[in-house]
Structure 1
Amino acid sequence: MRKWLPLMTVCLGTFMLLIDVTIVVVALPDMVGDLDASFGALQWVINAYALALGALVLGAGSIADLVGHRRAYVVGLAIFAASSLLCGLAPNTGVLITARTVQGVGAAAMFATTFALLNSAYAGRDRGTAYGIWGAVSGASAAVGPILGGLLTEGLSWRWIFFVNLPVSAVAIVLCLTTLATVHAPGRGGVDIGGMASFTAAAACATYALIRANEDGWSDTGVWALLVLAVALLAGFVAFESRSPYAMFDLALLRNRSFVAVLLAGLLLTFAAFATFTYTSIWLQSVLGMSAIGAGLTGLPMSITAFAVSAVLGRILHGRRPDLVIGGGLLLVGLGSLLTAVLVHGSAGWPALVPGLAVVGIGVGLVTPILGSVSMSLVPPQRGGMAAGAVNTARQLGFAFGIAVLGSVFAARAQAILSGRDVPDPGRVAHGIAGGQTPGLLHAAPPDGRELLDSAAHAAAVTGVQGTFAVAGAVGIVAGLVVVFLMRPAPARTRQEHERSPLPQPTPR
């Protein structure tokens, strides 16, 4: 039993940091009333954490390779705990968003070291089991987040979704110091400041552009200016990495089709599987009137199937063809989302979500554990933080981008329905519905027009949710096909040539 304590330590941190991506979703309506939040601020409470986590995890992995993976993990836990306390005490949205950003910094340090710590602690089939259990925890945590968030919000207060992190962090720190060993000595070198700054700024600009597009539309020149700036900053990042002696990301990996496929899989998995939770929760609570607990429980089918598939099949799938496992899992995610898009229509309620989310959970359970093991197999052990950081960066940016893109889809579909029903200022009302402000809109409406607005809001919201699942389903299908294409085994002749002239591998720094 003692040999699995390192796995428990890593899983505790992973569970906590991933739950905090989605635990906020069901608490948003309570935050709106308590903090008097606007729609833009509402999105930033979610995106500030996801963006900081996604933008910094690559740099955090590079630093972890220098200072040691266990040390970076403990520091990340401490930062996460302190910022969680500040989130729970936040008197306004400004403080909450700032604290959520710092929380993302701590989460990035933890997330960047998970694969390296597991690889150091386990080998052979035990490693397959460890990745399977870690994948089960990882895949289920995003869906468990809304359930736990609902219980805490309804039973205590939305502030307790952050306070609960404190005892968990304390236990994780103690376990880390007593069970995890630093197998690989800290590396030598410097910190890639230019690469970190340019990549973080590029990710921030791209995400902010997508969020602004939700509010101002795609015709806004500011949106396109931000996107152009993001591309320019990304080009600057590539230039830094090609010249820096301490590059935080080895560009040679981008010539390896398998590693590119893993990055795409991580990016599009979280987009297709998890970003829809934000808008289903808003639909269920603010339009259909469900409780926070009830809305959170709708994600239970996905949690159960994701956990079961990863835990049972993780050991069995270890060493199997990754193209079929990852590609097949993404296809299932896409099919499950498309099934949900078909079932959610008209007067549909929460039962329409169950079949599709169960299928999505199977796909998540297949993909999540093998992403880590494949990425780590492509780099030397001393660069494990860099590989984990790259994959987990893709995952978190996929979630942040997914929320922003699907928010635009939801608002556009809702506005089209409202325009057809002669609702005054349909654009403003559509964004209000997407931001969970339907009860306030109904309260502010004239009494003689309230029933008409309520009917229109129900139709607009269900159409918006249907649109988000349709887009997520298409993304999952395309992702699965692309991954299978990129990771397909090479023909015998090509393999022989590959053995004589191997693909570029990252050079230890």
Structure 2
Amino acid sequence: MPDVRMASPQGKWILLTTVLGSSMALLDSTVVNVALPRIGRDLDADLAALQWTVNAYMVTLAGLILLGGSLGDHYGRRKVFVVGVVWFASASLLCGLAPNAGVLVAARALQGVGGALLTPGSLALIQASFHPDDRGRAVGLWSGFGGIGAAVGPFLGGWLVDGPGWRWVFLLNVPLALVCVPVALRHVPESRDRLTHGRFDVLGAVLGALALALVTYALIEAREGTLLVALAAVAGVAAGVAFVVVERRRPDPMMPPDIFASRQFTAVNLVTLCVYAAFGGFFFLTAVQLQVVAGWSALGAGTALLPATALMLLLSARSGELGERIGPRIPLTVGPLLCATGMLLMLRVGPDASYVADVLPAVVVMGLGMVSLVAPLTATVLASVDVGRAGLASGINNAAARAAGLVAVAALPLLTGMGPETYRSATAFDTSFGRAMVICAGVLVVGSAVAFGTVRRPAPGCEHPECRTHGCVTAPPLEGERAGPRLGDGEG
């Protein structure tokens, strides 16, 4: 049984290294959007390259994150976590030194592989190391510090972009890794699942990532209208179908189809797709809108969205308690509607926008909507499956959120008529941004309708604090299995 106590020096070191590791991935998911206009200018990149700067990372992360948890179970959670941190830092160094957009995109894809290894492992190490009496507090501190890191990310990214330069958004991960790895090797005990059989669904992971990559490519390049784009679209759909077939036939699939036999689980994942697709498009475009159209600095654009994340950190616990009292249906119906209202309020943001009059009301309403839905959404996902599959359910839900975000980043410019150079023109981008906010709001309304029509009160839900303290806007919070030993199998 894990016996490390929270008050011991070893316990503090374990908490430090897991927070540093998860913060690397969280920071990267929130700071890059702020840097996009400067990256485009410095590397002479078109809009498609900026989309790939975001999506190359998300493709590999979403496609491989479930496999990453299983590898930790079998080979050792500390070992896979350390490999993930080193991999992520090495790819970050390559991002920071990238001479052109092509190298940057390739390095971002490599970053996603590292993220898929370290992200599930950070929570699994805490669950597998701490004494049961201290585990809840340790997980709560881990989640809280991670949320703070996600909240500070855009501010830090803006400061780096305006100061030493956008490359330091990536290079910052290197010193973090230099602290994280030695601490992990010295102080974190190794753990693994003794019941694992060593069979991994590598084919399923590859097909899933390939389907995401090909569909994303087809959406980003669709305006070219070439035969290659058409073939990529067909191949992407074929890879998706092959993924479903493989998962149905494999004895140990990465994403067991029978988990979707729970109507509640399926319904909440549909809500997740709608919500995080809208969030992905919103945060991708808003950082550019504030800089290109409103004329703000990168620091100003990054700081502008801070109140939304701060509200999540401050009020998520109360939202989770409210959801347990009244059930998830109302929060998951009202939350997306509030977020949709916030996005429509962003239509007021144009040239010379005032933060207090134009931006802050939209951000506050958005934040209240996120507070309303994130904790109840995660708790409902977990309560909709057997206790022993909580980690798997959370991993699937997390991967679905990331996949929804990357599809939104790929599709919105196409749907709103953005050309390769649109982001260089304030007038053209402002017009497309307005269309995008209407589309994102519409997707949220659909998610609200799905929640109202399908979500019902589950059995008593989330007992873990990581549901409650959450500050990342790109994916639902991580959640481990409730009590069993297989804690690394699919946290996301």
TM-score bin (small chain): 0.7 to 0.9
Distance across 2 between alignment mates of 1:100 and 1:119: 29
My pick for the range that moved more, 332-341 or 100-109, is 332-341
Aligned 8 A contact 2:85 2:181 in 1: yes
Aligned 8 A contact 2:332 2:451 in 1: yes
Identify the match of residue 150 of structure 1 among 132, 145, 158: 158
**2:56 matched to 1:48?**
yes
Distance across 2 between alignment mates of 1:125 and 1:311: 20
**2:79 matched to 1:71?**
yes
My pick for the range that moved more, 283-292 or 171-180, is 171-180
Distance across 2 between alignment mates of 1:324 and 1:287: 36
Aligned 8 A contact 1:375 1:388 in 2: yes
Equivalent residue number for residue 453 of structure 1:
none
Aligned 8 A contact 1:283 1:462 in 2: yes
Aligned 8 A contact 2:88 2:111 in 1: yes
Identify the match of residue 107 of structure 2 among 88, 99, 118: 99
Q: CA offset at residue 104 of structure 1?
A: 0.6
Equivalent residue number for residue 443 of structure 1:
none
Distance across 1 between alignment mates of 2:124 and 2:451: 24
Q: What is the one-letter code of the residue matched to 2:41?
A: G
Q: CA offset at residue 27 of structure 1?
A: 1.9
Aligned 8 A contact 1:116 1:381 in 2: no
Residue deviations 1:401-432 (CA, integer Å, cap 9, x gap) = 121222224435xxxxxxxxxxxxxxxxx541
SS in 1 for 2:196: coil
**2:293 matched to 1:259?**
no
Distance across 2 between alignment mates of 1:410 and 1:40: 14
Equivalent residue number for residue 28 of structure 1:
36
Aligned 8 A contact 1:151 1:293 in 2: yes
Identify the match of residue 406 of structure 2 among 369, 388, 400: 400
Aligned 8 A contact 1:112 1:386 in 2: no
Identify the match of residue 272 of structure 1 among 259, 278, 297: 278
* 1:204-243 correspondence to structure 2 within 5 Å: 204-213=213-222, 215-216=223-224, 223-243=229-249
Distance across 2 between alignment mates of 1:490 and 1:377: 6
Identify the match of residue 371 of structure 2 among 350, 365, 372: 365
My pick for the range that moved more, 199-208 or 9-18, is 9-18
Distance across 2 between alignment mates of 1:28 and 1:307: 26
Equivalent residue number for residue 420 of structure 1:
none
Equivalent residue number for residue 470 of structure 1:
438
Q: CA offset at residue 370 of structure 1?
A: 5.0
Residue deviations 1:135-183 (CA, integer Å, cap 9, x gap) = 6666665564332111011111211111111222334445545256637
Equivalent residue number for residue 212 of structure 2:
203
Aligned 8 A contact 2:265 2:385 in 1: no
Equivalent residue number for residue 481 of structure 1:
449
Q: CA offset at residue 202 of structure 1?
A: 0.8
Q: What is the one-letter code of the residue matched to 1:292?
A: A
Equivalent residue number for residue 501 of structure 1:
none
Q: CA 1:390–1:347 in 2, change beyond 3 Å: closer, same or farther?
A: same
Distance across 2 between alignment mates of 1:490 and 1:365: 20
SS in 2 for 1:276: helix
SS in 2 for 1:91: coil
Residue deviations 1:368-404 (CA, integer Å, cap 9, x gap) = 4455555455667776654343222112112211212
Q: CA offset at residue 221 of structure 1?
A: 6.1
Q: CA offset at residue 240 of structure 1?
A: 0.9
Distance across 1 between alignment mates of 2:43 and 2:294: 23
Q: CA offset at residue 364 of structure 1?
A: 2.6
Instruction: Provide the aligned length of Structure 1 versus Structure 2.
Output: 451
Return the structure number with greater helix share. Answer: 1
Distance across 1 between alignment mates of 2:279 and 2:328: 19
Distance across 2 between alignment mates of 1:71 and 1:206: 33
Q: What is the one-letter code of the residue matched to 1:257?
A: R
Q: CA 1:294–1:348 in 2, change beyond 3 Å: closer, same or farther?
A: closer
Distance across 2 between alignment mates of 1:252 and 1:126: 34
Q: TM-score, normalised by structure 2?
A: 0.79
Equivalent residue number for residue 495 of structure 1:
none
Q: CA 1:52–1:176 in 2, change beyond 3 Å: closer, same or farther?
A: same
Distance across 1 between alignment mates of 2:112 and 2:126: 22
Equivalent residue number for residue 432 of structure 1:
421
Equivalent residue number for residue 7 of structure 2:
2
* 1:22-421 correspondence to structure 2 within 5 Å: 22-113=30-121, 116-117=124-125, 120=128, 144-174=152-182, 176-177=184-185, 178-179=187-188, 182=191, 184-185=193-194, 187-213=196-222, 215-216=223-224, 223-310=229-316, 313=319, 321-341=327-347, 343-344=348-349, 348-351=353-356, 352-376=358-382, 386-411=392-417
Aligned 8 A contact 2:383 2:458 in 1: no
Consecutive unaligned residues in structure 1, runs of 5 or more: 413-429, 439-456, 492-507
Distance across 2 between alignment mates of 1:158 and 1:271: 26
Aligned-residue sequence identity (percent) comes to: 35
Q: CA 1:239–1:274 in 2, change beyond 3 Å: closer, same or farther?
A: closer
Consecutive unaligned residues in structure 2, runs of 5 or more: 1-5, 460-485
Q: CA offset at residue 358 of structure 1?
A: 1.6
Q: CA 1:285–1:167 in 2, change beyond 3 Å: closer, same or farther?
A: same
Equivalent residue number for residue 478 of structure 2:
none
My pick for the range that moved more, 58-67 or 116-125, is 116-125
SS in 2 for 1:188: coil
Q: What is the one-letter code of the residue matched to 1:356?
A: A
Q: CA 1:208–1:333 in 2, change beyond 3 Å: closer, same or farther?
A: same
Q: Larger C-alpha radius of gyration, 1 or 2?
A: 1
Q: CA offset at residue 20 of structure 1?
A: 0.9
